[in-house]
Amino acid sequence: MAVGWHRPTKLVIDTQAIKENVGNEVKRMPQGTELFAVVKANGYGHGAVQTAKAAIEGGATGFCVAILDEAIELREAGFTEPILILSVVDVSYIDLLLKYNLSVTVATQEWLEQAIEQLNHIETQTPLKIHIKVDTGMGRIGFTTPEAVKQTVELVQSTQTLDWEGVFTHFSTADEKDISYFEKQTHRFQAVLSVLVELPRYVHVSNSATALWHPDNVGNMIRFGIAMYGLNPSGRALPETYPLKPALSLVSKLIHVKELSAAEGIGYGNTYTTTENEWIGTVPIGYADGWLRHLQGFSVLVNGERCEIVGRICMDQCMIRLPKQTAVGTQVTLIGQDHGEEITMQMVADKLETIHYEVACTFSERMPREYK
């Protein structure tokens, strides 16, 4: 996809905010704990490489990604820190895992047996680094019983081709007030650990929510994701345990301004009609950029004033109602601060009836990322 460098719409990423968010969490961590920055999905839409650099400056010692290609992107950008791929990678790509020195998630014994068979035919002295995933109640991937984990560990230890680097689980309700299911998952993971004679280098359960609201949970590594970008993992359900600084702003400029008389329709489907003389501004952003149609009726900031989006959002443009005649070229803030007012990503998520994770990941590659 072509990047729109020659129009005024852009995402502005404050890498200092990312550095500070990571640094503040590092200060809270128990001694001997490491923080891996989660930069999957292009750094939650913020840009994987640049956010990874900021995370390292803040004190991160490794990275987590979702897919093999994301890990390769970091290696080819020059990062030498540990990288864990959190999802399943097809065994046919073991040569790439070894080539790029990557750690991979093991979710079934069948996968492990296939991997061992492949490794036995590869001429290398380097073992494959693995993290065993335990499904304690998320229902995605992983082993579900202590016995299955123990059996898999015994298989791993019977060969020199594998390096058992970690064991982990993922909590589904660490960001909720009701901690009963969280405690159920915790007990299940502890039951797994209790049957293991020894533990690997990394034992990790803490996503951002667990790190913020359950810091005493078992483990010596934190997978720091959404909070690194300054966003509350719970949305509005739980207060932040310390201030998180949002790293992303979305800005554009007015490219057209006109005064329309009463009874004029705006946009596809004529879903908005002027009720009096109104100043209408056009902003060069639309649903192809991730500024979705359901944001009709939402507001943006122009000179610190909230201006409603009127008419349906188009693929490449949207229209806003201005309080008065405003010059073409005036900045429009869609997410961020302007003259003491602020529009947060959580507000956008509320309007879309979703979560801010999805909002951040929806922004398309057509919008350039500018780092400061």
| 186 and 57 inside one domain | yes
Q: In sequence order, what are the residues at sequence separation of 6 or more whose Cβ sits closer than 8 angstroms to the Cβ of residue 22?
A: 35, 37, 54, 55, 58, 59, 60, 224, 228
- The CATH number that applies at residue 176 is 3.20.20.10
Per-residue pLDDT, 218: 77
The reply to whether 173 and 252 lie within a common domain is no
**Ramachandran area for residue 283 (φ above 0: left; ψ -120 to 50: alpha; else beta):** beta
* CA distances in angstroms from 93 to 18, 101, 220, 321, listed in the order given: 32, 12, 29, 53
State residue 138's pLDDT score. Answer: 96
- Examine the pLDDT at 123 and tell me if it is beyond 90: no
User: Which residues are tagged catalytic?
Assistant: 40, 268
Q: pLDDT tens, 133-145?
A: 999 999 999 999 9
**pLDDT given for residue 365 in this prediction:** 95
In this structure, are 87 and 44 located in the same domain?
yes
CATH, residue 309: 2.40.37.10
pLDDT per residue as tens digits for the range 72-110:
999 999 999 999 999 999 999 999 999 999 999 999 999
pLDDT at 83: 98
Mean pLDDT score of the chain: 96
Domain shared by 127 and 29, yes or no: yes
* Residue 140 labeled ligand binder: yes
Give pLDDT tens digits for 19-77.
999 999 999 999 999 999 999 999 999 999 999 999 999 999 999 999 999 999 999 99
pLDDT at 124: 72
pTM of the predicted structure, to 2 decimals: 0.94
CB atoms near residue 30 (< 10 Å): 9
pLDDT digits (tens, 9 = 90+) for 149-168: 999 999 999 999 999 999 99
pLDDT bucket at 231, cuts 50 / 70 / 90: very high
Residue 258 has pLDDT above 80, yes or no: yes
CA-only gyration radius of the chain, Å: 24
Residues 6+ apart with CB under 8 A from 149: 132, 134, 143, 167, 192, 195, 196
Q: What is the pLDDT of residues 233-257, one digit of tens each?
A: 999 999 999 999 999 999 999 999 9
Q: Is residue 234 part of a domain?
A: no
Residue 315 labeled ligand binder: yes
Query: Mean pLDDT throughout 179-185?
Result: 96
Summarised one tens digit per residue, pLDDT across range 335-372 is 999 999 999 999 999 999 999 999 999 999 999 999 99
How much is the pLDDT for 122? 84
Beta strands in 254-349 (DSSP E): 256-260, 265-266, 272-273, 278-283, 299-302, 305-310, 318-322, 331-338, 341-343
Alpha helices (H) in 7-67, listed in sequence order: 15-28, 40-44, 48-58
Give me the number of domains the chain comprises. 2
Q: Quick check: 103 and 130 in contact, CB under 8 A? A: yes
Q: Is 155 among the domain residues?
A: yes
59 with 203, same domain? yes
Which residues form the domain of 21?
15-229
